[in-house]
Amino acid sequence: MNVADPAPDFELSDQYGTPRRLSALLDGGYVVLFFYPAAMTPGCTAESCHFRDLTKELAEFGARPVGISADPVDKQRTFAETHSLDFPLLSDPDGAVAKRYDARRTGLLANLAPTRRRTFVIGPEQRIVHQVSSEVRMQAHADQALKALRNQRDQDA
């Protein structure tokens, strides 16, 4: 997936079991779609909580975070409730969406953490505006997404 590529549409259940479609989540704004390996782990908690802490700043640019992992709905709900994550956390148990976004691991590591840490800023026209790929810098994903949204606003001005 590259900048300007169309973002594949999909439908997955959120932490409450409600089906969510990417095209509906966009609703004229931006989605910051972040894939994370596993709910309730230290790195994914740090990353998700940083998105939570920047939700208001993202909203200023018409953007909302949406997380995806292979965790089941009930684990996503526990994760959201434990850490006050007030945005959709989607369950991709078979990794089909992660695979479409090149965020699915292969090989030995796939058994431990099937989803790679990747973030996509998706514009209202359902195209990739920016992407972040860092497995070890948890805060980089939200920070770089916010920076990309600022740059997009400046280009549009």
**Domains defined along the chain, listed by start:** 5-156 (3.40.30.10)
Share of the chain above pLDDT 90, in %: 73
Bigger pLDDT: 49 or 137?
Answer: 49
| Alpha carbon 6 to its chain's center | 16
pLDDT tens-digit series, residues 9-44: 999 999 999 999 999 999 989 999 999 999 999 999
Active-site residue 44, yes or no? yes
Examine the pLDDT at 113 and tell me if it is beyond 70. Answer: no
Identify the active-site residue in 31, 33, 44, 70: 44
Q: Which strands make up the sheet holding 63-69, listed edge to edge?
A: 19-21, 11-13, 89-91, 63-69, 30-35, 118-122, 128-132
The mean pLDDT value for 114-126 works out to: 90
Confidence at residue 28, expressed as pLDDT on a 0 to 100 scale: 80
Examine the pLDDT at 7 and tell me if it is beyond 80. Answer: yes
